[in-house]
Amino acid sequence: MATMRAVQVTRPNGSFEVVERRIPEAAEGSLRIQVQACGICHSDALTRQGTYPGMVHPRVPGHEVAGVVDAVGRGVTGWEPGQKVGVGWNGGYCGHCDPCRRGDFFACVTGQVTGITSDGGYADYLIAPASAVARLPADLAPAEAAPLMCAGLTTFNALRNSAARPGDVAAVLGLGGLGHLGVQYAAKMGFHAVAIARGKDKEPLARKLGASVYIDSQAQDPAAELLKLGGAKVILATATSGEAMSAVQGGLAVHGTLLVVGAAPTMQVSPVWLLAGCRSIKGWYSGTSIDIQDTLAFSARTGVRPMIETFPLERASEAFDRMMSGKARFRVVLTMGR
Ligand SMILES: [Zn+2]
Ligand SMILES: [Zn+2]
């Protein structure tokens, strides 16, 4: 029996266990992917805690997967072994439910999530429905490509679907795993990129990533500073602090949007400020496989790269703790040694 390494969580709040498992077969409609690297995302905590509705253990986490097609299941067209591919949070969609029929594939009623409703990328191999798989450019290293599957996709897709146009002020709140990518995308998309974070010490990094203005939210009022620039057409809120989001909303231009991708539990909203300027607050889901493909192609072409710390697969537990500590600069990636 051919086996592989996998890191699984056996029960809610259990530890990460490195186990030997049988290499799974590619089911009908699916691909088997040999994993080369898998990013560790904060949402992997849902797999560990078992708090995602309906999820069952044991489960292998991981939804920032970069690898190569290893086997193609029956009924799959357009894919062949050896192709460089990636898989993100969206674990596929049915194509025939009402949201899918409206083109909202991300909202498919089957609700498939990589590493939550099916085993993810903390392993040598995973099985993914063909609808969940993205093609990767040849010239991106797997460990650099992996964080773009979720952190990169989320920020790229949110910004490109915002109302901001080249030259408009696009502010990125937070300079962590998502934010350090968001600033790069905002600059490469031709926006007037503004980075907002806590502390003067982050300014050199923000500028290196492409921010033309840096706002230290500890020393300055971020809303007032944005209004000095004419107001932000979009503020991409990557921080997970509701207070930080509330503090920047006053910096929105007329028709500006606070675009929320950080999972803060609550935030204060000023209804009068919203209605007086036709401003809005909107959430953004990351995206599907074709959006990943666009994210990776754009990143390869424009030089957007994540800053990463890599750990071998066996050290997944340590790597996860490093991510949770908030000290990683900026995304933690597991590598499989191939
Ligand atoms: Zn994620
Ligand atoms: Zn569907």
Joined together, the tokens standing for residue 219 give 């020393």
Cα–Cα distance between 153 and 88 in angstroms, integer? 9
Distances (CA, A) of 286 to 99, 158, 171, 224: 16, 7, 18, 29
CA-closest candidate to residue 140, choices 90, 86, 178, 88: 86
Nearest ligand to residue 103 Cα: 2
Is the whole model's pTM more than 0.85, yes or no? yes
Residue 310: CB atoms within 10 Å: 16
Ligand nearest to the CA of 64: 1
Question: Closest-lying ligand to the alpha carbon of 90?
Answer: 1
**Model confidence over 91-114: pLDDT tens digits?**
999 999 999 999 999 999 999 999
Position 245 confidence tier, pLDDT thresholds 50, 70, 90: very high
31 C-alpha to ligand 1 centroid (Å): 21
Q: What percent of the chain has pLDDT over 90?
A: 98
The ligand that comes nearest to the alpha carbon of residue 110 is 2
Whether residue 257 contacts residue 231, with contact meaning beta carbons closer than 8 Å, is answered with: no
- List, for residues 38-87, the tens digit of each pLDDT value: 999 999 999 999 999 999 999 999 999 999 999 999 999 999 999 999 99
Ligand 1 center to 232 CA (angstroms): 26
Closest ligand to C-alpha of residue 93 is 2
User: Where in 73-208 does DSSP place strands (E)?
Assistant: 84-87, 125-129, 133-135, 169-173, 192-197
Q: Which two tokens stand for residue 128?
A: 């993914």
Mean pLDDT calculated for residue range 243-266: 96
Q: What angle do CA 66, 93, 81 make, to 5 degrees?
A: 40
**In this predicted model, what pLDDT tens digit does every residue of 141-184 receive, in sequence order?**
999 999 999 999 999 999 999 999 999 999 999 999 999 999 99
Residue 216, beta-bridge partner list: 197
Q: Considering every ligand atom, which ligand is closest to the CA of 155?
A: 1
Q: Please list all protein residues whose beta carbon sits less than 5 angstroms from ligand 2, which is an ion.
A: 93-94, 97, 100, 108
Reduced to 3 states (helix: H, G, I; strand: E, B; else coil), residue 322 is helix
Q: Is the pLDDT score of 185 beyond 80?
A: yes
Residue type at position 310 = T
Asked whether the beta carbons of 115 and 126 are under 8 A apart, the reply is no
Give pLDDT tens digits for 275-290.
999 999 999 999 999 9
Ligand 1 center to 211 CA (angstroms): 24
Q: Please give the average per-residue pLDDT across 110-125, as a whole number.
A: 97
Torsion of CA 261, 16, 130, 282, to 10 degrees: -10
Query: Containing H/E element for 180?
Result: helix 179-188
Distance 58 CA to ligand 2 centre (A): 26
pLDDT band at 1 (very low <50, low <70, confident <90, very high): confident
pLDDT, tens only, 43-53:
999 999 999 99
CA of 227 to the centre of ligand 1 (A): 32
Tokens at 93, concatenated = 């969609």
**Summary mean pLDDT of the chain:** 97
pLDDT of amino acid 23? 98
